[in-house]
Amino acid sequence: MSDRSEPATGQQASTGALGGSSLLPLGVLSGLNLVDEFDRVAFSALSPEIRDAFGLDDTDIQLLIIVPAMMLLLLAAPIGWLADRYSRVVISIMSAVFWGVASVATGLVPSAALLLVVRILSGIGRNANEIVHPSLLSDLYPPASHPRVFLVHRLANPASQLSGIAAGWLGAQLGWRWPFYLIAIPTFALALALLAVRDPGRRGLAERRDVVRLGVGETVRRLTAVRSLRRSWATAFALAVAAFGMFALASLYFEQVWGYGPKGRGLVQAVIGGGWMAGVAVGGRLADRLVHGGRIADLATLCGNAFFLFALGGIGLAVSPADWLAVVAVAVLAMANGVWQSPYYSVLGRIAPAGLSGQAFGSAVLAYALGGFGALPIGQAGDRWGYRWGFVLIAGAGLAAALLARSVAPLLRADVAASLAARGPGEDPSGADLVDRA
């Protein structure tokens, strides 16, 4: 793989909203993020049919959902390492082809053992969306446009919640295997379109070997030297405890506390998806205003405020006296889970050491994945003491994330300035101006 820095021949159409940069890379990478999420949601939505087709029990099918997700934990560091040394476009294309083939294989395999193998392969391929894509986008587009860029890319995650309806309809009409065959078509088409994009190179690096020659110890030293990055890892961990807990307990809460059946719980999932989408849109717009107002440090404050809102939603679910108020509370919680994403990714792109953005994003993903394990006791507490108490614990984790995120704000100005200084005069001038006014 080579890391090419020449201008892209397929990227001439531009837009002022993105600092004069092409819409093509953002559109293709966001599309890949969406089809990947469709595959994941389809498997969850059709899990009862898949369970019955292979003669599995509930524990088995849960393992088939959880184990591939753990690939994010196991591979975050090596994927980030690859992203900082080789063409991120090539890695993204290979990953898309990988999970596209795995999606087709999901519908073809004749045994549960092979199904587990292809779902693990699918999980490996999806790592690009959380690590390689953000690193590539942060270099393809000027820092001033990052909130808008990440707003679009992250919208794919909540939008995918609505794809469960399409997956369910296709599964009912054609059989559970067909959604996995069909989703491979746009996956391969988008991978082909990505051939028109060129990796722009790493900001501030005249030579790729400047990063290639770094050992593991030096890489870790450079990453941990960034105080705001270290604090963002702790924030990601606390947030994951709250977010994983919310997704794990929401349906159980509405079943056990309010007696909701499948249709009612399906409506709750739609509310979560809609609230999440609204939150991503609101967070992106607010982050964009902060960046163009020169208030970079306030990006961390915005994340902290979102987590406070998350905690408020958790308390609302814990004490709600009526089911409709509980639905409002879960909508607030889901919206808060979207608000933080654009400002958080924008901050990571700015504070990452020169040439190490892949590993900076990968380290944050690793911290978030580890936080998923922290959510397990919340589920056990909810099962033992009641799901209202589970949401009290979720609110506590959200409050911890809020306090940690707000503590990042005083560190940001110095860390962004240091990152810009290390990257040299080739950095986007608007970014430097914004730091001066932070």
pLDDT block averages, 10 residues each, the chain of length 438:
40 51 89 85 77 79 70 79 89 91 91 87 80 92 91 84 75 86 93 92 56 74 93 95 84 85 76 90 95 91 97 97 96 95 92 87 89 81 87 96 95 82 52 40
- Would you state the pLDDT for residue 307? 97
CA separation for the pair 438, 423 (Å, rounded): 19
Phi then psi dihedrals of residue 6, to 5 deg: -75, 160
- Would you state the pLDDT for residue 211? 55
- Would you state the pLDDT for residue 438? 37
- 402: tokens are 């809020």
CA separation for the pair 236, 251 (Å, rounded): 24
- Would you state the pLDDT for residue 206? 46
Quick check: do 21-201 and 226-438 share a fold?
Answer: yes
CATH for 226-438 (3.40.50.720, 1.20.1730.10, 1.10.287.3510, 1.20.1250.20): 1.20.1250.20
CA separation for the pair 266, 261 (Å, rounded): 9
Contact predicate 170/107, CB 8 Å = no
Domains of the chain: which residue ranges? 21-201, 226-438
| H-type alpha helices, 257-386 | 262-292, 298-319, 323-339, 341-351, 357-374, 376-385
- Would you state the pLDDT for residue 246? 85
> What pTM was estimated for this model as a whole?
0.79
**Residue 356 neighbours by CB distance under 10 Å:** 25
Question: Would you put residue 259 in left (φ > 0), alpha (ψ -120 to 50) or beta?
Answer: left
CA separation for the pair 438, 323 (Å, rounded): 44
- Would you state the pLDDT for residue 432? 39
- Would you state the pLDDT for residue 332? 96
14 forms beta bridges with 22
Closest listed residue to residue 203, CA positions, set 136, 144, 294, 296: 136
Closest listed residue to residue 342, CA positions, set 158, 204, 191: 158
* Alpha-carbon separation of residue 297 from 145, 147, 179, 289, 344 (angstroms): 16, 14, 44, 13, 11
Look up residue 214 and give its DSSP letter.
-
- Would you state the pLDDT for residue 17? 60
- Residue 14: strand, helix, or coil: strand
118 contact partners, CB below 8 Å, separation of at least 6: 102, 105, 106, 109
- Residue 356: strand, helix, or coil: coil
Over the Cα atoms of the chain, what is R_g? 21
- Would you state the pLDDT for residue 124? 80
- Would you state the pLDDT for residue 43? 79
Fold type of domain 21-201: Growth Hormone; Chain: A; (1.20.1250)
